[in-house]
Structure formats: structure tokens, C-alpha cells
Structure 1
Amino acid sequence: MEAPSPSVPDEKDPCREHLLERRQQLTDSLSASPYDLILYLERAVVHSDLAYPDLAAGDAYRALLLADEVRDESFEYHEQALEALKGYSTTPCPVVLDHGSLTEGISDGTAGEDVMEGLEGVGPCQLLARLGSVRAYQILSLSLLLCGSLKSALRFCERGLNTAPNNRELIEIKGYIEQVGRRRLRKESDAPIDINSLPDRGVVRREVYPWNTHEPDRFSAESLAHLNKQLSTMAPKCEVRVSKLPVLLDDESNTDGHDVIPTCNQLGLFAKEDIAPGETVLEEYSLLTANNRHKESTCDACGTALPPLDQHSKAVSCPECYDTIFCDDFCFTKAQEQYHPAVCDTDVDSIAKDPDNKDIDQSLYLLLLARLLAMSTHQEMHPLDVPSIKFIWGDFVPSELKKIERSLNAEPPPEWTRPFTYSIRWIYTFIPRSASTDIWVFNTCYAKFRGTASARKSYQDGRRDGRPDVAAVHPFWCLANHDCDPNVSWEWGGKMKLWARDKRVVGGREGGVKKGEEILNHYCDVELPVKERREWARGSLGGWCMCSRCREEAAGEEGREVMGVDGVVAEKN
């Protein structure tokens, strides 16, 4: 269900406007000098002041990588990173040199041994790289704490303390993390903390960022004409139109049972003519796929099981990287056209593969992002302009500033609904450093993936083992909005297929779709109880499902919760 909250214009805040201008200046500078760790640190501070701790963490991590490049001559980008720092040897570097906890005593030679160790006689660039890495650890650990990713926050904080054991700010941040961790784990105030027991999944803002210029006017006549031209080959009896949908609300909004609820406009699929029960509604092919099994026997392009690999097989191996196999010439050709040359014969095969059960969904989202970046690199376009996601809406909330308190009791505010972990940082190792691969781009892609990507369980050892290991994004399939009383069902096997249901879920009504009716899809298991369906929607779409079925069933459960067994009103807990 593509249903964001109604758009609320930002209030003009002179301070915020200044920060946004400064952010743009730094971004422009990074486009010209992408190996400058100081620029990344400066932008991290601006992102932090704008209440985007996840973006601050992303910039700080890049600065940390570049500091390593400066210090090690054997690293690939050593010369570029070193050259970028030379300009600061004679000019002030406020983000580092004005930070007292890093630079105490440097000017008079009394700096702590932990900061200066191993730097005797080295040039100013090496000193800046050491100071920059400590500053990056400070920003990283505090930012991840504010996102709720406590395990990563503590891990980076401890790495920073290994570099600078007496650094006051890192010691203080570690105390913050441990205190929040004890509260989350319900431990005594002085109980020791096991880093592996800390939660690492936080939440961040899900929104159209103020600087995002890649979102099209999805309701314009030009956009609708473009989409319908493409749709005509996949779903000849359907068209894309504007649909009025209920707004997804949080769990504190008591609107169940009310006749009037907020609505918003979104795109949807509508029948141009009657569609009979069981009739195919849509067939869609996509290359935006992911497989988290290492060396799994699936097509690299479409994600389906490979045919038997014998002498008569239709399967095709890439001539440059033989481990990459496609189910037939069609998939091989499409892959060569859209993404594969960007990753051909590169060391990316093991990223996010064979994850633990708790990390399965994250691995699939990460791999979808990796495929999207390969498509954007090969097609020489910004990731958000790739047709596979360009017109998908990510259920964003308005972009007005949501302030957060930097205190021990701070929690991510309820308006932050996009799940977040810092595993995304590993992609930085395998992609070029450019403005199109900033974390805000990744966050926007993730928001589009969540709730629209479909997942499937592949066979393992001749049987299904219950783990979703293949995922894909089908941009037209997900234009059919979610409803817990759908009129279509779907199956993905090489192509995504939608067909009209024989019977509706509610009341067992006759299936099929009448001319003019909206195609109502289902993104979750509609056999689940309403509470579980709504919990799924909250995590994937950003709010509770507000379809008629959910509201009616929730209202019924509310009544049963209030009434006692004998019909006597009981006090709710």
C-alpha cells in the first residue's frame, strides 16, 4: 500500500537553511575532491546538526577509510587521499584542529601519548589523518547511538579508544552507549555489557530529502503516459491511474471504527475491462534481483532455478567470469545490456551471502542495492534514475526537521520508521566514491525496496528450508496497491505473474475484477491475524495498515479485549 502521510511543507528555519546551503557547498566540493577526508568530516558535522545521524555516520565512515588510505602506502587510493590532505598543511582545518578533545597539547608538545604515538617526526598529513580518524570514531559512535544501532556504536567507540585510549569524548560516549544498552537489556546500572547482546537494528528518517532532485512528478500526464506505454506489454487489460488511499497511521492513532480517515493520492493499477476469475492480470520481467545463497544454482539475472547443467542445457556462463551463470541466452543478453559488465570478474560474490537467520532480510536488501548500483554504473545514470525504481514511492514522511536530544535518555523519535543497520557500509569497499553513492541515496533506495520487494524461498538440498533467499523488485507489480482483502494473487518464477482471485478473502465473495475497479494486491500473508499484518506494515511500509478489513477486525478485537467472558466490562491493561 503506497500511502505516505500528507505532505506538510517545511517551516522556514534560517539556521536550517544555512545548514542545507553548507551541506550543498560541501557536496559540491566532494564532487571535485572525492578523496578528501576533511570534507567528509565537515559534512558529517552538518548532517549531525540537521538531525540526520545516519548520514553523519556514513560520512564519518568514509573519512575513516580515507584516513587509512593516507597512512598506508600500499592502499589503492593512498596517493589521492594523501594529495587531498596536503592543502590543509598550511591552512586551518576547523573540523579537526578546533576540536579540543583531539588537539589538547599539540601546539606545546604536551599532547597525550595516545594521540601522538608512532607519529614522531611524521609530516602534517599523517598527523591530520590520525586526528581525523579519532574524530571519525567520535562522530560514528555517537551517531549510531542516536540511531539505536548500539552494537555498532560500541564497536566503533572501542576501536577509537584503541587508537586514543584517553580521549575524553570517546570515554563519555562509551558511557552513554553502555547506559542505554543496560536500559534496553533491563540490566542493573553497574552490570557489565556483552557487546554481542546489544541490539544493532535502529530506525532512521524515511523521507524525500530536501536535496533529492530525482523524484519525478508521478501524477503528471507525461509520467502516466510513459508508465502506461510500458504497462501495455505486461498487462493489456490494465492502466496506471491516480488512486486515493488511506494514510498509514502509527499505533497511537485510534481511528479504527471511524467513518472518516485521512487519505492521500498515489498511483495504482485499474482494470480497463472485465478480468475473469483466474485470468492473468500482469506478467513482468525484472533484473533487479538478489540471491543470498553462496554458489546457489539460480540464474544471476532473473533469480530462477537453473536448468540441468548437462550437454543439452540452455544455461549460459559468462565468458569472463565462469561462475556467473544465466538460465538462457535471453537472460545473459539482458544482463550484459543492463548490469553485468559493471561487476564482471570482480570480488563481490561473497557479499551478504549465507547470512544468519536474523540477518536474512537485511542481506537481501543489501544485495538488491548492490544490483541497483551495478545497473546505475553500467547504464551511467544516478541510482534513483534507474527505471526499475524511478517511479516507486517509498512511503516517505515529510522532510521537516525532527529534532533529537543528545542525552542518555534519547530514543529515535516515533516519526523515524525506516529500519537501519550499519551493514550497509560494506558496499563502500566495492563502489566508486561519488555523490551518487552517499548514504541518503542508499536510504532512499531501501525505503523504496521495503514493502515493494518480493521474496521467495529456493530449493536447498532438494527441499525448501523456510529461508527467503531470493528477492526482486518489480516496479509495475508494486503499483498494484496492498489491501488485506485482495482481488488478485501472485507468483514469481522468472516473471512476476498476477492473476484474478477466484474468491475474495472476506466473505468468500466471487473473484475477478470489474472494469474500472482497482487491482488490489497483497504484500503480506493475508491469512495472518490483524495484529501481525499491521506489525508487518509498520516495519515495511512505515505505518499501520488502514484498509477496511484491518480497521473492522481491529475494532472487533478492541471490543473483545474490553468485554469480559460473561459480557461484563473488564479493565484493559
Structure 2
Amino acid sequence: MDGHIVDERPQLPAYLQKCLDQLPKTKSCEISPGSPSSVSLQYIKALPSRRHQYASLLLARHQLTQQLGECPGPAPELILQRAVIYEALGCSELALADAYVSYTLCEVALEGPDISDLEPVEPNGDPWPTSEDSTVALAHKYRSLILLCRSALILGCQHQAKLWIDDLLALKRQLQTAEEKESTMPHEAAVDEFCDFWTIYTADATLKNSVSELRKCPKFALFGQSQRQVYPWNDHEPDRMSREALDEINGKLHEAAPDLEVEISVLPTLSAGNGPSGPEASSQLGLYAKRDLAAGDTILEERSVLTAIRPHGEALCDACAADMETIPSGDRRYCSGCNIPFCSEACYSLAKRTYHAPNEEAEETDEGYPPPQTPFCPGTSGNEDIHVLGRAESSTTPEWDLYFLLLSRTMQMAETQGVHPLDLFEIKYLWGDVSPTPTLDQLPSRTGPKTLPYSVRHHVELPLQWFEILMHSRVRCRPYSKQWLEKYDWWIIQTLYAKSRGVADAQQSTWTGKPEVAAVHPLWCLANHSCNPTVTWKPSGVRNLTVVTEKVWQSPSAGENAVPWTGIKAGEEIWNHYTDIHEKDVRERRARLQAVLGGDCRCDRCTAEASLDR
């Protein structure tokens, strides 16, 4: 018979209340939102339908998040319970993040505070067992490693999975009694436990085969892929097609590009398969011309502080990344606290308002960190650790580092302006090519496609370190505090990566040839991509869009009837470019665009050239 979750619910969020209200109202299975059984995975697995299981998993995730926010410190048991719930929901990227923190807290208990500045506590707030009583921490570490290994394999991070599997086997030997060691091989026992998991979706991989193949593999993939999705509990995703959204965007656009306006554009759905009548379509935002725009006209000029720069130093403006060597000395400005450079008074003023309050008195906390009122300006001698993350000159992953630095700048902006990072204008209308949010009525059998490039280091390790530093300036930003869970929880970090991956552009260093600068220009990126664009641009401190003087491709079907290019006509959509449009191999172009668009480019040029390439 169908189950039922009773109506006595204390202040449930709207998405969850709506989900629970949709369940059949029978009495065969009652779950009270406040009861311990509602967070038990065993109880949820026994529910009579996937709809009840899904609703109960959402409820369990909500309850555990609330409990974590009420703890005076991070509680490993609650964090690992939430990781298990995320795994059952098919959110391997979130399960891995929680399991990683749980694992780290075990290491703190076993090895001491040099591992992390976080201090683990019991769910009731009591101190967690120390290294003098390692039994609890070792058992918890083992459970955490199992989730880490599974999640890393499902996400395709083979190198990291191999390291954790080796740790898991070593720990299994340590935990086994002499009798157990004689009766079974540690590898076989660990793999059996490792493969014993449950999710409401069809399994992403045959894990036992994956483990066997991984241990034989001579070369391991360092990076994987995760879902781009609007999580059910995400109430910071506005209706991008609403009149209110269009009015706000056009208000900003009027200042940067008075001859353009944003409207709704219908584009092929990139991550979905073809329907019976061709590619499926979806509504997106696009830029349109309000009047005729002649070839060579500059039609947009936009200054943005959502930038990432490596290395951090004198060469580039900290706000817009303009080359400081080209700026007259009289126009340059420097932070009155830490002396970082800005190309103009406009950039310095914008930085002070949006992400970098100057620490003019060079104040410090007792530990040498910047004070709460200026957490991102170390003054003349304060701790600069937060600015070092992601900027190692020896890094072999400079492109990935830039995406982390964009995340860092976004969080600086959110803290400085006192807003949720997903509510920043620079972020909230960005399209992340996300999969639809699952509902009870349309609960798919499988999770959405994995098209977002994923790195354990950049999605989990570096953000965790970032907040471990920030919490010394602002205690409320400690990971798993109530404010952190509301503003910076792992699903928010994952969402920010999905949004920035689709729109950020990178600029290479003229000295090293490595990616050095990335930026997000929220108005510039409203122009959708085409490999036969009608506008072009160059990396610069202030981003421009200029109408092309000639098109790079002409449809073979046009033949002698091809119309000479003179510019963009009033009412036509503006087509931007997110890759090297002079690359002639359509397969190469599409491969480069995969991480950005989340699927194969289906512009007219790619579609025509791909049909000839078959």
C-alpha cells in the first residue's frame, strides 16, 4: 500500500511541503518530519514507492542540514549521514564533498589540529573522541572512505578514487581482527562493502567491475564530470523568462549597450537527444538589435569585477584585469590598505563597493588575519593565505585554477555586499545548461547527464581551505555553521561552477602561454554562441562587442545568391563566439565547446559541417 507523511510539519520550506502534499494520503506508513526514523536510510528504502522514497530523502536532507546548522561545530556523524542521503538522491558530487569533510574531521581527531582548523563535535555539541580513543574515529574514517571511493568512481575521478581505495584497503587491514584476517582477504571484503549502496536511480556504474578495471589501469583520469542541475531545494534560481527579469537586465543593458535589448530566444537543447522531428528546443535569453548596426560598430562596453587573475601581483588591474603597463601612472590607483593595483578610479571605487573593503589601519586579529570588517584586505602585514589559494606558479592545472578563482571572487562579492552569491546580478541570470529539477510527477529513472567538468581539488579541497581561512576573520563563515549552510553549502558551490563554466572566457599569458585571466561579463554573455558569429571581441579590461566586418563561413547552399555582409539588421539576434571560430574541424570545435555549452554546438555552421562529415 502507499505510504503517507503526516501533516504535522514544523516550518518546512515550500518545495518540500509541496512535495509531501502530493503524496497519497493513506495511513499505511506515517513519517513525522521531526522523528528520527525520517532520516534513516533503512526506513526510507522500505517505503512502498519511489515517490515516497524521493520525498523522504528530501525531508531527511532538510532535517540533517537543520541539525548541522544548530551544532556549535561540524559534527562528523551528521555530515556523513547527509552524504549517504545525497548518494541515495543521485548527487554524487555533494556526497563526495560531505564525505571529504567527514574524512578530514576524522584525520583531525587522529592526527591533531595540523590537519585542519576545524574541530569535530558530537551532534549534541560535546567534543568528539580524541586520538587517545581512536576506535570511533577509525571506524568513521572507514565509512567516509567508502563514500569517497564510490563517489569519485561514479564521477570519473579515477586517480583520486585509486588513492582512496588504497587508503581504504590499508585501513581495513588495520581494523580487522586476527580471525577476520585469516578468513577473508581485505581487498575482497572492502570491495563488497564498497559496492553495497542504494540510490533511487539506476546505478551510474557497475562498481565492482569499475574497481577491478581501475586496479589494472596503467593511467588514471585526473578529472571527471558531474551533473549540472537545479537542485530541488534551490530557491535562488529566478525565472529568467519573466517580465521582471527582462526589465532588470534591460535596465543594466541600457547603460552598457543602448542599441541592444534582451529578449527570449529559442535554441536547440544541447544536452538532450533528438526528438522525432529533430533537435528539441528550449527558451533562453538572447541579445537583439534595436536598430541597424553597421559592420565595425562597437555595440557594447561592459566593466566587470567578476574576474580571476593568476598570479596575484602588479601586472594586472585587480578588478578588471587590464594590463597595468598600458595605464598612465596618473590614472593608476592602489588600495589604501594592501596596495593592490587598479587601472582607474572607476575600478577602485567599484572594487571597494563590491568585493574589497580597504583595511586602511592594517588591523589584525590575534591570529594575524584581517579583521571582520575588512576580511579580504590584509593591510600591510596581515595574513594573505586566502589570496594564495589557486595561484601557485608551479600548478599543472592553470585553467581549473582560474575557475576556482572566479568562485573565490564570487564569494568575496557575496560577503562584501551581504547577499546570497546566487542572488548577485553577475550570477543569477547566467544559464548553466542545467538538467530539469526532478519532481514527484516526473521522477526520471536515471540521473541527468554529466556534462560539468569536475575536479575534487577545485570543487571541494580548495573551497574548504578558503572557508577555513575566512572563518578566522568571520566566525560565522565556518563550514557547516548556519550562515555557511545558507550561503555557501556544497550545492551552491556546485551551482556556481555550472554557471561560470558556461560563460567565462580565459586569456593566456603572453609570457608563459598558460591561462592567466578569466572573467564573467553578465551582459556580454547574454549573446548566444555561434561558430559563425555576427560580433567579435578581444580580451580587455572593459569588454566590448563589435560587429564583424566579414563572416567566417558562408552556407554552401547560398551559392551565387549569397547576400554581401553589411551588418546586423534591427530585430536580429546577436551571435557571439566562445571558442576559436577559425578552427575548421567541426569535431575539434565541438569538443572545445562541450565543457562550456554542456553538449554539441548546434549552430548552423556546425550542423551543416557535421552532416558533410558523416
TM-score in same-fold range (> 0.5)? yes
Q: Which runs of 5+ in 1 are unaligned?
A: 1-8, 90-115, 185-189, 405-412, 559-573
Match of 1:470 among 508, 514, 517: 517
Letter in 2 for 1:470: V
Contact 1:315–1:329 (CA under 8 A) maintained in structure 2:
yes
Task: Find the aligned partners of 1:537 and 1:266 in 2 and give their Cα distance.
Answer: 18
**What is the CA-CA distance between 1:543 and the residue it aligns to?**
1.0
Structure 2 gap ranges (5+)? 1-21, 24-48, 176-185, 196-205, 357-373, 379-383, 468-476, 555-561
Q: Does 1:45 align with 2:84?
A: yes
Match of 2:349 among 333, 338, 344: 333
| 1:150/1:181 contact within 8 Å kept | no
Tell me, yes or no, if structure 1 residue 526 matches structure 2 residue 560.
no
Residue aligning to 1:505: 552
Is residue 2:515 matched to residue 1:459? no
User: 1:554: which partner in 2?
Assistant: 610
Q: Is 1:290 paired with 2:274? A: no
1:262-277 equivalent positions in 2, closer than 5 A: 262-277=280-295
CA distance in 2, matches of 1:542, 1:119: 46
**Aligned with 1:397 (options 423, 435, 444):** 435
> C-alpha distance in 2, partners of 1:128/1:482?
53
* Distance in 1, Cα, partners of 2:233 & 2:337: 39
Equivalent residues in 2 for 1:97-496 (5 A)? 122=133, 127-167=135-175, 170=190, 180=210, 183=213, 191=216, 197-249=219-271, 260-295=278-313, 297-307=315-325, 312=329, 314-322=331-339, 324-340=340-356, 341-345=374-378, 346-354=384-392, 359-400=397-438, 415-423=449-457, 424-425=459-460, 426-431=462-467, 432=477, 433=479, 434-435=484-485, 436-460=487-511, 465-496=512-543
Distance 1:119 1:421 in 2: 31
Q: 1:487 to 1:519 in 2, by over 3 A?
A: same
Deviation readout 1:344-401 (Å, 9 max, x if unpaired):
2231232222466862221111111111111111112221111111111101122336
Equivalent-residue separation in structure 2 for 1:78 and 1:522 (angstroms): 44
Deviates further, 516-525 or 344-353: 344-353
Q: Label 1:531 to 1:356 Cα distance change in 2 as closer, same or farther (>3 A).
A: farther
Whether the 8 Å contact between 2:78 and 2:123 is mirrored in structure 1 is: no
Alpha-carbon contact 1:149-1:201 (below 8 Å) kept: yes
Find the counterpart in structure 2 of residue 57 from structure 1: 96
Q: Helix, strand or coil: the match of 1:498?
A: strand
Deviation, 1:130, is: 3.6
Q: For the Cα contact (< 8 Å) 1:142–1:173, is it kept in 2?
A: no
Matched residue, 1:106: none
Q: 1:181 to 1:127 in 2, by over 3 A?
A: closer
After TM superposition, give the deviation of residue 211 of structure 1 in Å.
1.1
The one-letter amino acid paired with 1:335 is A
SS of corresponding position for 1:81: coil
Deviations 1:174-198, CA, capped at 9 Å, x for gaps: 89989637747xxxxx85x66xx31
Amino acid at match of 2:543: M
The separation in 1 between residues aligned to 2:254 and 2:492, in whole angstroms, is: 30
CA offsets 1:254-292 (integer angstroms, 9 cap, x no match): 99xx8x532111111111111111111111111110013
Counterpart residue identity of residue 163, structure 2: R
Equivalent pair of 1:281/1:498 in contact (CA under 8 Å): yes
Do the aligned partners of residues 295 and 79 (structure 1) sit closer, same or farther apart at CA in structure 2, a change above 3 Å counting?
closer
Distance 1:182 1:525, change over 3 A: farther
Change (3 A) 1:283 1:173: farther
Percentage of matched positions with identical amino acids: 33
Deviation readout 1:62-99 (Å, 9 max, x if unpaired): 2223334445675698796336565599xxxxxxxxxx
**C-alpha distance in structure 1 between counterparts of 2:110 and 2:588, whole Å:** 51
Deviation of 1:535 after TM superposition, in Å, equals: 1.5
Answer yes or no: is the 8 Å Cα contact 2:321–2:517 preserved in 1: yes
**AA in 2 matched with 1:428:** L
Shift of 1:160: 4.4
1:17 pairs with 2:25: no
The 3 A distance-change label for structure 1 pair 247 and 320 is: same
Residue 31 (structure 1) aligns with: 69
Contact 1:209-1:399 within 8 A present in 2 as well: yes
Q: TM-score, normalised by structure 2?
A: 0.73
Contact 2:549 2:567 in 1 (8 A): yes
- Larger RCO, structure (CA 8 Å, separation 6 or more): 1
Q: Which amino acid aligns with 1:316?
A: R
Structure 1 pair 282–181 and aligned structure 2 pair: CA distance change class (3 A): farther
- Residue 241 of structure 1 aligns to a residue whose secondary structure is strand
Q: CA RMSD in A?
A: 3.2
Query: Matches of 2:112 and 2:268 in 1, distance apart?
Result: 57
For the 8 Å contact 2:104–2:115, the answer to whether it is kept is: no
Specify whether residues 119 and 356 from structure 1 end up closer, same or farther in structure 2 by C-alpha distance, changes over 3 A only.
Answer: closer
| CA distance 1:183–1:134, change in 2 (3 Å) | closer
Q: SS at the partner of 2:233?
A: coil
For 2:190 and 2:400, locate their aligned partners in 1 and report how far apart those are by CA, in whole Å: 29
Specify the code of the residue in structure 2 equivalent to 1:443: Q
Taking structure 1 as the reference length, the TM-score comes to 0.78
| 2:504 counterpart letter in structure 1 | A
**Matched length:** 493
> For the residues of structure 2 that align with 1:468 and 1:88, how far apart are their CA atoms?
45
